[in-house]
């Protein structure tokens, strides 16, 4: 299926996003205005979607154009996505799939928790109750946004590219508003944002912009033609891939928790997408052949 390829590509791009962002720093500092990154990424997505929409309209003029404690709490959105996925989109998940989603949340969390040697185990759950409540709220809002986006993408037969044009137009406007607000707060000390938008940019910075823009386009494709759960698996696997690559790029020291988390997530991936007959050995039932039944009936009549 096409979505397998798109999901794998999304995993790679999402993983490389954090790495490219780190590599774009100079002496641990951003030499450019980081707020320009999402703005340019939205513009990139808008331009690409507009070009694809134009080409689609050339091929099919009748296209409809109608408008219509951080790691634990963060990974909670995996489970809340599944719950909202079931409640609002009416998608039924099997018991094995529910178990796989919970395992995915456990695996990604396990890979990020530090050992007791690095931080006191007593302080692991010592955050104020407000922190946990905000973490749960953040997970629910994130999952709600994803599920509602999928609902909007699938509720009608509008072209994906037309939907993207609408979505990324608003994205570009709001990111531009952020740049304007920053200028007013700074008293235009460095001049208006459009005069310095490319200041400090390097090849790596442009790769960050293109990577972020391409990631957004892939996510919209998955929302339209696959579903939220596929996207959740892609981003979760990307997080683990980033950790593995960081071992070689940034001298990140792998931990036992990382290996356990990867193993659990791979089990979860297999449980969710594998056919049930690959996961459960069903006992084979043997049925008596019809011919043998006829023979028994004939034999009894003869005896009588």
DSSP 206-257: HHHHHHHHHHHHHHHHHHHHS-HHHHHHHHHHHHHHHHHHHHHHS-----HH
Q: Is the pLDDT of residue 173 over 60?
A: yes
pLDDT band at 150 (very low <50, low <70, confident <90, very high): confident
Residues 212, 224, 147, 164, CA torsion sign: positive
3-state SS assignment for residue 158 = coil
**Alpha-carbon distance values, 136 to 133, 146, 150, 168, 294 (Å):** 5, 16, 21, 28, 66
Q: Is the pLDDT of residue 96 over 70?
A: yes
Can you read off the two tokens belonging to residue 110?
A: 């396990």
Report the pLDDT value the prediction gives residue 66, as an integer from 0 to 100: 31
Classify residue 82 as exposed, middle or buried by CB count within 10 Å of its CB (0-12, 13-18, 19+): buried
Q: Is the pLDDT of residue 111 over 70?
A: yes
pLDDT band at 114 (very low <50, low <70, confident <90, very high): low
Report the pLDDT value the prediction gives residue 207, as an integer from 0 to 100: 95
Report the pLDDT value the prediction gives residue 124, as an integer from 0 to 100: 55
Report the pLDDT value the prediction gives residue 64, as an integer from 0 to 100: 39
pLDDT by residue (tens digit) across 15-41? 898 889 988 988 888 889 888 999 999
pLDDT band at 219 (very low <50, low <70, confident <90, very high): very high
Q: Which among 259, 243, 239, 262 has a CA at the least distance from the CA of 251?
A: 243
Are the beta carbons of 288 and 113 closer than 8 angstroms?
no
What value does the mean pLDDT take over residues 76-101?
A: 76
Q: What is the mean pLDDT of the chain?
A: 79
pLDDT band at 62 (very low <50, low <70, confident <90, very high): very low
């Amino acid at each position: 299926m096409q979505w397998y390829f798109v999901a794998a590509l999304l995993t790679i791009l999402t993983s490389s996003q954090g790495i490219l962002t780190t590599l774009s720093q100079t002496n641990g500092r951003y030499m450019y205005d980081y707020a320009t990154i999402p703005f340019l990424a939205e513009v990139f997505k808008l331009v690409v979607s507009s070009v694809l929409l134009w080409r689609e309209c050339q091929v099919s003029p009748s296209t409809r154009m109608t408008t219509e404690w951080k790691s634990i709490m963060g990974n909670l959105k995996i489970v809340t996505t599944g719950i909202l996925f079931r409640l609002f989109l009416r998608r039924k998940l099997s018991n094995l799939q529910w178990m796989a989603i919970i395992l995915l949340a456990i695996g990604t969390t396990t890979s990020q928790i530090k050992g007791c040697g690095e931080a006191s185990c007593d302080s692991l759950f010592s955050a104020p109750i407000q922190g946990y409540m905000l973490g749960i709220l953040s997970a629910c809002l994130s999952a709600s946004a994803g599920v509602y986006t999928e609902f909007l993408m699938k509720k009608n037969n509008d072209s994906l590219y037309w939907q993207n044009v609408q979505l990324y137009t608003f994205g570009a406007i709001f990111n531009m508003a952020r740049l304007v607000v920053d200028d007013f707060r700074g008293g235009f000390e460095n001049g208006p944002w459009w005069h310095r938008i490319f200041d400090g940019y390097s090849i790596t910075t442009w790769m960050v912009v293109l990577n972020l823009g391409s990631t957004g386009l892939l996510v919209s494709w998955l929302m339209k033609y696959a579903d939220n759960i596929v996207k959740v698996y892609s981003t979760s696997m990307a997080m683990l891939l980033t950790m593995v690559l960081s071992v070689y790029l940034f001298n990140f020291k792998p931990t036992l928790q990382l290996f356990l988390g990867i193993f659990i997530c791979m089990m979860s991936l297999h449980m969710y997408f594998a056919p049930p007959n690959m996961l459960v050995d069903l006992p084979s039932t043997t049925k008596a052949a019809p011919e043998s039944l006829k023979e028994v009936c004939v034999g009894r009549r003869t005896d009588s």
